[in-house]
Amino acid sequence: MIKLILLLAIFGLMMCNDSSKSVNWDDMTELIIYKTQEEKFDELSADEMAKIEFVKVNLAEAKQILQKAQLSNGKMYLWKGQFWAKASFANGETSLIRISRYGGFFYNDSNKSTYSFQDSAESSRWQSMISKTLGTGEIIR
């Protein structure tokens, strides 16, 4: 009986942990990509970050694509450079996001989780959106 309770408790904790990693992208109010190659960007102060140029991603498109992002569940992807992004949400929270320069995966610093697009069409849409935004988006600073 005790074992069963323990198992249930562990299962519950796992579920709880997993749900904390799901992000409601529909609540996202803004997604921006910073025009920086600063490796330690996450260590900058808010004031310093505010001075970095950025481009805004089309919010509707981003929400639509991000719905298809899946938690990688421990799957390892090797990084070869990254872009820094920040997602803002309706509740006022923000998440720093590291977007891989290749492949359809990104890392959410807030919940320390990697997400990927397993479907090649969605992955391509995601990469296109990032590349297009960086190439032609209005630069704000």
Partner 1 sequence: MFLGACTQSTDWLTQATDEAQIKQSAQNWFDQNAQNQSKNRRNALANVSRKPDWHLAKQYLHRGQPLLELPLAYEGKNLIGVLENDPQSRGLTKLLLRQNADRSFTPIIMRIYASGEYLKNPNNRLSNNSFGLKDPKFSGEVYFYDWNEEFLGVNHYKNGKIVKSGRASQGKVSCITTCQIQYSPNGGGGGADDGQEFSGGDAYITVCNQTCYPSGVEPIYNYDPYCPYNNCGGSSGGGSDNGGGDNGEGDSNNPPVSSGVDENTILIKGISENGVIQDIRAYTKCFTHDANSIYKITINIDQPIAGSRAVIADSDGNTGSAMIKERATVGHTFLTFEQIKKDGTRIIRSMGFYPIGSVGVSPKNPSSPGGLVNDEEHKFDASLSLNMPTSTDFYRVLNTFSSYHIYNYKEYDLYTDNCTSACLTALNENGIKLPVTPGSFILGLGSNPGNLGEDIKSLREIKGYNYNTPNYSYIFSVNPSGGVAPKNRGFCN
Q: What angle do CA 100, 122, 66 make, to 5 degrees?
A: 70
Answer for which of 17, 20, 29, 37 binds partner 1 (CB under 8 A) is 37
Q: What angle do CA 106, 107, 108 make, to 5 degrees?
A: 125
Binding mask 83-112 for partner 1 (x = CB under 8 A): ---------------x-xxxxxx-x----x
Q: What angle do CA 112, 115, 116 make, to 5 degrees?
A: 155
The answer to whether 116 contacts partner 1 (rule: CB under 8 A) is: yes
The answer to whether 52 contacts partner 1 (rule: CB under 8 A) is: yes
The answer to whether 117 contacts partner 1 (rule: CB under 8 A) is: yes
Q: Distances from the Cα of 92 to the Cαs of 6, 29, 43, 118, in angstroms?
A: 36, 9, 20, 30
Answer for which of 20, 67, 75, 90 binds partner 1 (CB under 8 A) is 75
Taking a C-beta distance cutoff of 8 angstroms, is the pair 90, 27 a contact? yes
H or E element in which residue 5 lies:
helix 2-20
Binding window for partner 1 (CB under 8 A); candidates: 1-9, 16-24, 85-93, 114-122: 114-122
The answer to whether 80 contacts partner 1 (rule: CB under 8 A) is: yes
| 39 SS3 class | coil
138 vs 108: CA distance, rounded Å? 24
Answer for which of 1, 4, 40, 46 binds partner 1 (CB under 8 A) is 40
The answer to whether 50 contacts partner 1 (rule: CB under 8 A) is: yes
**Binding stretches for partner 1 (CB under 8 A):** 35-40, 48, 50-53, 72, 74-82, 98, 100-105, 107, 112-114, 116-120, 122-124, 127-128, 130-132, 135-141
